[in-house]
Structure 1
Amino acid sequence: MSTTSLGVLALKRSNSTVRYCFEADAEPGVLPRALELLAKRGLVPARVFAQAADDQLSVEIEVEGLSPDTAEHVGLCLSQIVGVRQTF
């Protein structure tokens, strides 16, 4: 398991599968911005789960086929999205 320095948890499930987990403000643009980071790299998430409760959005995004460097870079980019609060 590795954690990026800015707050998005990246859990390794296998050598090439990563699950990103984070909490964010329950704002309409947070999830699309997170998914856009993957789409810009030609990646399609294997699994996406998001649940809103009050003013908080809990998100898990699972991606397959990432190299360690790419996984770390995506995690750093996710942590810089406006509204991302912390890991869980």
Structure 2
Amino acid sequence: MNDSAHILLLDPLHGGSHAAWSQGVQDGLTQQGHRVELKTFPANHWKWRMQGAAAIWAHELQDTPPPDVLLTTDMCDLAQLK
């Protein structure tokens, strides 16, 4: 039985503490045998990143199989990912 999960980790403001958190989560989950796909945007223009990043990712991800788990920082508008 394979308990490995495909985890999509979204970090729209990848810098400072957000980058440290994302990298720590990615490292920990990878060590547990999960496949973690980290998608990021640079840590600038935080208001735009908070409002627009999810809409861009929703477009990019529309033709890909859904992950087993979706994980994001608090800077991502989940309503835009639908």
Greater Cα radius of gyration, structure 1 or 2: 2
TM-score (norm 1): 0.35
Normalising by structure 2, report the TM-score: 0.37
| More helix by percentage | 2
More strand per residue? 1
